[in-house]
Amino acid sequence: MGSGKINKVFCLIKLWRECSTMLKKLKKKLANRWKELLRKKMIA
Which residue ranges make up each domain of the chain? 1-44
Residue 23 one-letter amino acid: L
Q: What is the pTM of this model?
A: 0.59
Give the integer Cα–Cα distance in Å for 15 and 3.
18
Give the integer Cα–Cα distance in Å for 15 and 23.
12
1 pLDDT tier (thresholds 50, 70, 90): low
Residues 21-33 have pLDDT tens digits of: 999 999 999 999 9
Comparing 42 with 25, the larger pLDDT belongs to 25
